[in-house]
Structure 1
């Protein structure tokens, strides 16, 4: 789950769903803020440790690939998203369950991502972004809150929401710098972390309710968000023949990985 949430393609929620622990995971997150705190902590500690280990060990690699091979790397992420769409459609059994309102919700999900993407863009990544003013504090807090909420949903990557807010590269860079003992990134990471905790606190119960009481309606919106994310993640057209070839290869690899995971 930690590895999947590093990249804007496969969500940690989807991995939990594929592993058969999704309902227990949502219940445990929701239980952190109830009388079931102890049981929830026991369930979440090994998951949390695994996610921290994955994020700490792979953040530098992801940061390197984004800076040195941006277009092929984003084509790989695009492939991951394309590959997960059939899984979501199958999970919703859309041919039998979707009505006009569900297709309208799907279109709404696409529109939401298109609008958000048009209002934000990825920043250039350097140490100057570790200096926070009030506006950046609000931005990173909201990004962390939306990322954690998205991570709980099967189909929406938390890192994708960071990408939509235009802070994905900066946060990946901050994590990699922190791992390298550059503590200048701590204020930024604390801000994002507070947003993540706030998002978990207020979204886990809502998501648990929606998925249990309005499953198909929720999936329709999720599928729209995922389809819309293709616009946000697509990096543009490769500039030369070799980059075209590499991009197409990693796109196919991304699709294959997503479909392989969803078929298990």
Structure 2
């Protein structure tokens, strides 16, 4: 989940969804943040184990990607495309019971597909390289980061477009990755803005967990159709990911696309699916 959340493309929520513990994850977050004391105690062990793995994985990714993302943007983006393309049929197969017979909801899928290009077209960052400096401790930047975190973390837990993709759209992905990397190298000027972003993440988790839990309980078919649309639409953001760098590069094209890296991304999800099936068989035999 941490690897998926730290890069644009597939969200950590998609990974949880594909591995079969997504609804437990959403329910646990909801209970821990908004539930009773008894519900918090019941949810804590699961979230603690998941959180330790997520934080460790995220920090490793940040240390690696803060350099690689600038140098090998097209190769990494090709991996993201493979992950996303593989996720679409897997989600459809996993949820075919709820998708079958509700084909009018394809309109919702079309809306999901359109959301990302529309957001990208409205963003002043694409093609211009925002150059946002998170060492700037202004109140306006703190408020912007707080709101951006609420929006991004909502996507982070939703099976579909990743929070990192939305951060790309808002021009915050590279600045945030660079800021976290700088703090890990003991450059503490970035801490206030990272705290503002962290508080926004907590608020976003509380809001999104409640809303998503309700949507999956009452409107599961519509929600899955929307998630599929968001997944497909996120391909557009990945292709334009290079234009959001502080020193923007041209959008990915057929010449800069790497098929081998794309296949590697698809293979990652295939391996996860095999692991899931083995775990399910092992559990059923006990």
Aligned-partner Cα distance in 2 for 1:262–1:95: 20
Give the structure 2 partner of residue 34 of structure 1. Answer: 35
Instruction: Please report how far the alpha carbon of residue 132 of structure 1 lies from its aligned counterpart in structure 2 after TM superposition.
Output: 4.0
Report if the CA contact (8 A) 2:158-2:212 is conserved: yes
Give the structure 1 partner of residue 225 of structure 2. Answer: 220
1:118 aligned to which of 116, 121, 130: 121
> Please, which moves more after superposition, 157-166 or 194-203?
157-166
- Which runs of 4 or more aligned residues in structure 1 lie more than 6 Å from their structure 2 counterparts after TM superposition? none
1:70 aligned to which of 69, 73, 91: 73
Gaps of 5+ in 2: 241-250, 277-286
TM-score, normalised by the number of residues in structure 1 = 0.89
Aligned-partner Cα distance in 2 for 1:140–1:177: 17
Check if 1:99 corresponds to 2:94: no
> Please, which moves more after superposition, 134-143 or 225-234?
134-143
Give the structure 1 partner of residue 283 of structure 2. Answer: none
Question: RMSD in angstroms over aligned alpha carbons?
Answer: 2.2
1:253 aligned to which of 264, 273, 276: 264
1:1-264 superposed matches below 5 A? 1-32=1-32, 33-35=34-36, 36-93=39-96, 96-100=100-104, 102-120=105-123, 121=125, 124=129, 128-235=133-240, 236-237=251-252, 243=256, 247-263=258-274, 264=276
Instruction: Please report how far the alpha carbon of residue 17 of structure 1 lies from its aligned counterpart in structure 2 after TM superposition.
Output: 2.4
Report if the CA contact (8 A) 1:10-1:258 is conserved: no
Q: How many residues align?
A: 259
Report if the CA contact (8 A) 2:215-2:223 is conserved: yes
Instruction: Please report how far the alpha carbon of residue 125 of structure 1 lies from its aligned counterpart in structure 2 after TM superposition.
Output: 7.9
Instruction: Please report how far the alpha carbon of residue 208 of structure 1 lies from its aligned counterpart in structure 2 after TM superposition.
Output: 0.7
Aligned-partner Cα distance in 2 for 1:134–1:209: 34
Aligned-partner Cα distance in 1 for 2:47–2:106: 35
Q: Secondary structure at the match of 2:193?
A: helix
